[in-house]
A and B are shown apart, each in its own frame.
Chain A
Amino acid sequence: MNGPWLDALILYLIGLFLVPNFRAGGVPRRLAEVIYQPFIRLGLWYRWSMYAPEVPEATRLGLTGIVKDDGSFEIVPLPGCDEGAGFGKARGLRFIAWQWALCDPMTDFLKPALCDYALRLWRRRSPAAGRGPGRPVAVEVRVYRYPSPAPGQRDEPAEPEVRTVFSRAVEE
């Protein structure tokens, strides 16, 4: 490919890199999304942000099974996760944006999917545990938030604030 066709391809690719990085909306944005549809499907339409404007707080997710007698147990760590770090360290210590994914309404399917996965794992580990008083009646996705000390202050061990972001009853 040479001459004007090559220049047109270069301009097209420059647009692919630039457009997602602008906050333009409306018709121009929708038009660009049509023009670049094949690249969007390939995951090449990308807005660069190597770190959020505000550093996220130290959080982790936990999956907790609630059992019949009002007790509970943690279904962590999952495979590939270190104790205490939950999902945050899965995939070879790869960064996992669970805490963001769970805040995004587009990813609502994640929460029940995680609960199903946790239950599958739990049953795989202890096949006999699906019956009796220890049987889970619900699974909760919880966020553990660890407060950071102010700059200049010493780190002290602190209890996390725990918030349940999703709860699902276990079907019989």
Chain B
Amino acid sequence: MPGWWHELFHAPVDPSSLALFRVLLGGLIVANATLYARDARALLDPDGMFSFGAWKNGPDRHLFSVLRWLPASRRSVTAVIAVYGAAGACLAVGWGTRWAAAAALLAGVSLNHRNRYVLHSGDALLRVMTLLMIFSDAGAVWSIDAAASRPAAAAGSPWALRLMQLQLALLYLQTALYKLKGRTWRQGTASHYATRLRAHRRRRLPDWLDGVVAHRAATHGALAAELAGGTLVWFDRTRLLAIGGLVALHLSLQLLMRLHLFQWTMLASLVLFFPGETTARLVELLWS
């Protein structure tokens, strides 16, 4: 393999950003499990929207879910949600990190596939990140695992972190290119229509932000932020600008629209682009 490949995937890096992301990912999984528990009766139970029989023989029958092998009962659904939440908590505190990630992946996929008609891209990102977490050194610092292993393990190969970063950049780039195919995105009216989706609207825009010029700025600003998230985020000189734009985008969407945990999942993932040393210094500052 060429030198740049080795430098990118194998040269050791400070694992602090990865560890912070592990904590945030664990928290998101606990929150997701809590929300699943709240709506399990309608969305997951054998007596819910899809009976187990219809689901097992339906178009999703090839997708993995441990619920296929468990008795068709509410207790099975509750047990899988409990495993999911517990695995998320273990991940957050870094206790048996790799095993916790594996358990969170299998339980999360099982719940997702029981009713995949209520999912969004944030769920897919959680699945991918949890998979890569299994292979990462996310438990190397700020974890029970690290506290239990003395002396501390040396920084390992950051390939899993790099794949997480690649996936995130690909997500933003692909999304921006996909949106550019749409007329409303090119015209600068997409945010006008998006803020009128009744099912998702959290609050109305104030009049002074609801004009043609403001919507054009918001629509094209969102596209620019996402394009930067796929490109400028890789360069030291432009990284902060790209991350700042994405933070502004996700926070404003969180303020205006109800999209479950999507914005928080994206915001947490942006931590992966911080240099490890910067994250370590920031966390030290916050703790001291």
What is A's interface to B at a CB cutoff of 8 Å?
Answer: 6-7, 10, 13-14, 17-18, 21, 40-44, 46-58, 60, 78-80, 84-86, 88-98, 101, 106-107, 109-110, 113-114, 116-117, 120, 146, 148, 151-152, 155
Contact = CB atoms under 8 A, between A and B. Distances in A.
25 contacts: A6-B157, A13-B163, A40-B62, A41-B63, A42-B109, A43-B113, A43-B127, A48-B175, A49-B175, A50-B121, A51-B175, A53-B181, A53-B182, A55-B190, A85-B199, A88-B200, A90-B39, A90-B42, A90-B43, A91-B35, A91-B43, A97-B117, A101-B117, A107-B117, A113-B51
Contacts of B159: 6, 10
Given A58-B196, A96-B117, A17 B109 contact: no
A56 B112 CA distance: 23
Contacts of B212: 151-152
B70 interface: no
Given A89-B199, A90-B39, A91-B43, A44 B127 contact: yes
B163 A54 contact: no
Contacts of A55: 182, 184, 190, 193-194, 197
Interface in B28-61: 35-36, 38-39, 41-43, 47-51, 54, 58-59
Contacts of A10: 9, 159, 163
Interface string B182-194: 1111000110111
B49 A14 contact: no
Contacts of B58: 109
